[in-house]
């Protein structure tokens, strides 16, 4: 486990997202591949810090999604 993980092992997920954005800035990106990831994007948006989101097409999306 690296120092970042050790420091945030007991942290709320929103605090982990904020810390990552503060540490890595715009080099930090959130992958989005489904409903589970929406909360991470929301936490990042609430931080007010810049971030990027990219989609992973896992081939499991419904045709209507495309």
Please name the residue that has the structure tokens 């045709």.
63
Render pLDDT for 36-66 as a digit per residue (tens, 0 to 9): 788 999 999 999 999 999 987 778 777 887 7
| Of 34, 42, 51, 48, the residue nearest 14 (C-alpha) | 42
Q: Which residue range is the domain that position 8 belongs to?
A: 3-65
What gap in Å lies between CA 47 and CA 50, rounded to an integer?
9
Number of structural domains, the chain? 1
> What is the pTM assigned to this prediction?
0.77
29 phi-psi bin (left φ>0, alpha ψ -120 to 50, beta other): beta
Render pLDDT for 15-32 as a digit per residue (tens, 0 to 9): 999 999 999 988 999 988
């Amino acid at each position: 486990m690296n120092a970042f993980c050790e420091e945030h092992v007991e942290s709320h997920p929103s605090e982990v997202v904020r810390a990552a954005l503060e540490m890595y800035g715009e080099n930090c990106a959130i992958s989005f591949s489904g409903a589970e990831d929406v909360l991470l994007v929301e936490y990042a948006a609430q931080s007010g810090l810049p971030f990027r989101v990219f989609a992973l097409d896992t081939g499991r999306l419904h045709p209507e999604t495309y």
